[in-house]
Amino acid sequence: MRETTRIHPLAAIVGCAVIGLTITTVLTSSVLGRERTSAAVETNTRLVAVGDAIDRQVLLYAETLFGLREAFAHAPGLSNQDFHDLLDITALTRRIPGAESVSFNKSVPDAQLGAFQEGVRRRVPGFTVHPASHVGEHVVVDYLEPAVPGSPALGLDIAADPVRREALVFARDSGELSATRPLSLVQGPPGPGFLLMLAAYDESPVPVTTPARDRHFLGVLVAAFAADTMIDQTAEARRGLPVAVYDAGPTVNTPRAQPRLADWVAGKRVSEYTNYADINVGSRRWRLVTDSPVTADTAPAVATAISGAALTLLVVGLFSALYLSRRRALRLAESMTTDLQARKEELRAANESLREFIDIAAHDLRSPLVSIAGFNALLNDDQVDLTEDERVTAVTTIERQSRHMSRLIDDLLTMSSIDGSALRTRPEDVVLVDAIQDCLESTEGYSKIVEVVCEPDLVVRVDAHHLRRILDNCVHNAVKYGSPPVRIVAARAGSEVEIRVLDQGPGIPKELEPRLFGKFARADNSDTKAHKGTGLGLSIVRGLAEANGGRALYEPNTPRGACFIVRLPAAAIR
């Protein structure tokens, strides 16, 4: 004869505490991971907002440059005063802050450089083209706004500087907006800056071919920007998000997946950052990064940890109460010698019920825990390369198994309250059809397979939370053990409302009917052996129905299946 292994109550209590704390740790880690992901998403969203703000500033100044180009096309001999009147730099910077200056840089052949320089000196004494060593084509800052007397920018030959010349050639040959790599501004604050360039021609529209654009080239219109000033003007920067700007190379012939990065901050590489956003500025690409991302909110994880610990204490308390009840039963049996046999039978029944309860609870708690632990280990294994679908499947499984354990623990606590006469009801008028719909919609797929027949004005006088548990358990039982179609039919029956839950499954075996609403009542046949459960669902239905002044019944469905009936007090007709 095979010996049955008994689980000691103290071992069950310790095991329950270990399981509860393990699940709490897993869930807390999952919640914290979601919060960290959310913080990273918020950081990137704010970086994108900074990029959008910079893009708007650049676009508005680009529109100004395009307008000036049209003016030069129609009047190539535009004077300095005309340039000043058209630009109105004070109003422009007040409306669109960010640019340090706007200038016209005139194209001057090498042979005409001396005459050009003497002509400008008549209106700007001391004007000198610099650097003087440059030979070849000259593109010289001629008109500058705001005009600062003695500014080193005035007379600067931008064709002499490789960085400026690179953007100049692109602007001249393409007729499109161009931007320089990072550079130090001649007129502006210290720190990284850049120039936005647009070629001006002596005709409109812009010549189609590159040789034609070279022949009609007058010079370039340039807006100078200080990167730090532009970023400081954005709303996110004013909210305290520190942003650094990196040049990622030209937008033309540069693979987006592998940009050529030029570092603006000494000692750091862009690859060190995980929070970044890319934008196109003229002919170049920028990468905006921050080393102070949004901090993850740990409050949900702390709340999960506290809730899980509290729930674990409640379950441990329940097991402890069961253990102490068993000890009291033993002492009572020893003291009552005249009724020893009856007490022995009661004690045997209590022990059998406790053993079955512990076996079922331990099995139902252990199975999802194994699944949770396995998937959690898989997610935390850095050597396993999971796809996004596999990660979603793992997280979904952990959440589903956690909900299953939560439901089991909730059933145990409810059953304990019913048995201990500690259940409290708070009756209120509840519209039955709304309660049924809430029940079906809370479980994915139930609303598609369950038919509801209920008058919209049917109202019951019951504890709303208890009614929800009754409906949940009845529908879950019908879907799990029965076969579709599943129907809920409700109607008034005198002073009561009768709720019938019908299915087309195999029905209830005759031998099980007398103990159907008892604790741990489960069928064990070929139709139901694939669906294991604790056997507490219908016992809870009966206990909650009776606590609210109602009752729970069963009768076979016709021609096959099961019909569970719950009768509850009807609300008074007003």
**For residue 539, what is the domain's CATH number?**
3.30.565.10
Q: Which of 104-118, 128-142, 163-177 has the lowest mean pLDDT?
A: 128-142
Q: Which of 361-375, 419-433, 548-562 has the lowest mean pLDDT?
A: 361-375
Highest mean pLDDT among 301-310, 333-342, 556-565: 556-565
Domain CATH for 202: 3.30.450.350
Domain shared by 412 and 467, yes or no: no
Mean pLDDT of the chain: 78
Query: For residue 512, what pLDDT band results from cuts at 50, 70 and 90?
Result: confident
Task: Identify the CA nearest to 131 among candidates 155, 110, 112.
Answer: 155
Higher per-residue confidence, 235 vs 315:
315
Query: For residue 434, what pLDDT band results from cuts at 50, 70 and 90?
Result: very high
Query: For residue 437, what pLDDT band results from cuts at 50, 70 and 90?
Result: very high
pLDDT the model gives residue 253: 53
With a cut of 90, say whether residue 356 has pLDDT above it: no
Q: Looking at the domain assignment, is residue 574 inside a domain? A: no
- What average pLDDT does this structure show over 525-550? 72
Task: Encode 335-382 in three state secondary structure.
Answer: HCCCCHHHHHHHHHHHHHHHHHHHHHHHHHHHHHHHHHHHHHHHHHCC
Element spanning 393, H or E:
helix 388-419
With a cut of 50, say whether residue 265 has pLDDT above it: no
With a cut of 60, say whether residue 257 has pLDDT above it: no
- Between CA 542 and CA 515 the distance in angstroms is 12
- What average pLDDT does this structure show over 332-345? 65
- Between CA 406 and CA 328 the distance in angstroms is 30
- Between CA 207 and CA 214 the distance in angstroms is 9
pLDDT the model gives residue 90: 56
Element spanning 459, H or E:
strand 459-463
* Domain end residue (candidates: 193, 215, 232): 232
Q: Which of 200-214, 322-336, 356-370 has the lowest mean pLDDT?
A: 356-370
Domain shared by 123 and 167, yes or no: yes
Higher per-residue confidence, 100 vs 93:
100
Domain shared by 316 and 460, yes or no: no
* Domain end residue (candidates: 386, 419, 452): 419
pLDDT the model gives residue 495: 92
Q: Which residue has the tokens 């950052």?
A: 273
pLDDT the model gives residue 270: 45
- What average pLDDT does this structure show over 249-266? 47
Contact between residue 479 and residue 444 where contact means Cβ atoms under 8 Å apart: no
With a cut of 80, say whether residue 475 has pLDDT above it: yes
Q: The whole model's pTM is what?
A: 0.47
Structural domain count of the chain: 3
Q: pLDDT tens-digit profile of 159-182? A: 999 989 999 999 999 999 998 888
- Between CA 155 and CA 449 the distance in angstroms is 82
pLDDT the model gives residue 558: 85
Domain shared by 64 and 210, yes or no: yes
- Between CA 517 and CA 91 the distance in angstroms is 83
With a cut of 60, say whether residue 149 has pLDDT above it: yes
Q: Looking at the domain assignment, is residue 275 inside a domain? A: no
Q: Looking at the domain assignment, is residue 1 inside a domain? A: no
Q: Which of 6-10, 57-61, 256-260 has the lowest mean pLDDT?
A: 256-260
pLDDT the model gives residue 528: 46
Higher per-residue confidence, 438 vs 132:
438
Domain shared by 116 and 178, yes or no: yes
- What average pLDDT does this structure show over 333-346? 64
With a cut of 70, say whether residue 102 has pLDDT above it: yes
Domain shared by 439 and 338, yes or no: no
Domain shared by 437 and 510, yes or no: yes
Domain shared by 529 and 448, yes or no: yes
Q: Looking at the domain assignment, is residue 334 inside a domain? A: yes
With a cut of 50, say whether residue 263 has pLDDT above it: no
Q: Looking at the domain assignment, is residue 407 inside a domain? A: yes
Q: Looking at the domain assignment, is residue 128 inside a domain? A: yes
- What average pLDDT does this structure show over 188-216? 88
Q: Which of 264-273, 385-394, 495-504 has the lowest mean pLDDT?
A: 264-273
With a cut of 80, say whether residue 35 has pLDDT above it: no
Q: What angle do CA 446, 450, 453 make, to 5 degrees?
A: 135
Q: Looking at the domain assignment, is residue 481 inside a domain? A: yes
pLDDT the model gives residue 256: 41
Task: Identify the CA nearest to 501 among candidates 411, 566, 435, 433.
Answer: 566
Domain shared by 535 and 431, yes or no: yes
Burial, 387: exposed, middle or buried (Cβ in 10 Å; 0-12, 13-18, 19+)?
exposed
* Domain end residue (candidates: 370, 394, 419): 419
Q: Looking at the domain assignment, is residue 494 inside a domain? A: yes
Task: Identify the CA nearest to 49 among candidates 264, 233, 224.
Answer: 233
Domain shared by 414 and 471, yes or no: no
pLDDT the model gives residue 488: 93
How many other C-beta atoms lie within 10 A of the C-beta of residue 96? 17
Domain shared by 488 and 540, yes or no: yes
* Full residue range of the structural domain in which residue 365 is found: 304-419
Looking at this protein, which amino acid is placed at residue 67?
G
Domain shared by 379 and 528, yes or no: no
SS3 content of the chain, % helix, strand, coil (to 5): 50, 20, 30
pLDDT the model gives residue 529: 44
Q: Per residue in 310-348, is it b (16+ CB within 10 Å) or e — as a string?
A: ebbeebbebbeebbeeeeebeeebeeeeeeeeebeeebe
- What average pLDDT does this structure show over 69-98? 75
DSSP designation for 155: T
